[in-house]
Amino acid sequence: MINIAAESSNPLIPPVGEIIIGFIAFGVLAFVVMKFVAPQFEKAFVARRDAIEGGMERAEAMQAEAKASLEQYRAQLAEARNEAAQIRDTARAEGQQILEELRAQAQEESARIVARGEEQLAASRQQVVNELRGQIGTMAVQLAGRVVGESLEDDARRRGTVDRFLDELGSMSASTSGAPAGTPSGSTGGSTGATAYTPGAPA
């Protein structure tokens, strides 16, 4: 009923021939694996590891470079900012200085202009005074001569009288107005002056 082969063979007692075949078969595979397969794979592993490590090294170098660049950039930026601040400060100081200078110059200029004006004013006043003094003298003498009828040709006397008169006028106007009165047109001097040189009177 069951098979016949089982009676003659015990599965746990291997025939020697099969064992030898097994050795040969395993030997073939082991030989190829040890001789060709494993070295090739190991070579690939080494190459791969090198590639990865190389890549990592490259990446690290790049990162370091990038970091250095960033540092440099930051330093430059800080420097630039510093410089800008410095320039701004300098500019502000310079502007201030220029302003001061200009102000000083302007003040000087205005002072000079005022001084020159005063000088000119004083000079012209002096001139006017001198002129007037001469003219008034002459005119007063002529008028007085006409009024009195007598000749006041006598220079010495005449001059003395006129000068005295004018000095009086001058002192009077100085005491009343205080300002340098170039022309004797004051209210007090007016009454005396009017008599002295009213333009309508002499003809």
Which residues contact another protein (rule: CB under 8 A)?
1-6, 8-9, 11-23, 25-26, 28-30, 32-34, 36-38, 40-41, 43-44, 47-48, 51
Nearest to 162 by CA among 117, 196, 124: 196
User: Is the CB of 10 or the CB of 187 nearer to another protein?
Assistant: 10
**Alpha carbon distance 193, 169 (integer Å):** 8
Rounded least distance, CB 58 to another protein, Å: 15
**Alpha carbon distance 193, 201 (integer Å):** 12
* Number of helical (H) and strand (E) elements in the chain, helices listed first: 5, 0
**Alpha carbon distance 73, 60 (integer Å):** 20
User: Is the CB of 27 or the CB of 160 nearer to another protein?
Assistant: 27
Radius of gyration of the chain (CA): 65
**Alpha carbon distance 107, 89 (integer Å):** 26
User: Is the CB of 36 or the CB of 73 nearer to another protein?
Assistant: 36
User: Is the CB of 53 or the CB of 154 nearer to another protein?
Assistant: 53
User: Is the CB of 50 or the CB of 131 nearer to another protein?
Assistant: 50
Rounded least distance, CB 7 to another protein, Å: 9
In this structure, the number of other CB atoms found within 10 A of the CB of residue 162 comes to 21
Rounded least distance, CB 74 to another protein, Å: 39
Rounded least distance, CB 8 to another protein, Å: 8
Rounded least distance, CB 63 to another protein, Å: 23
**Alpha carbon distance 100, 87 (integer Å):** 19
Report the SS3 class of residue 30.
Answer: helix
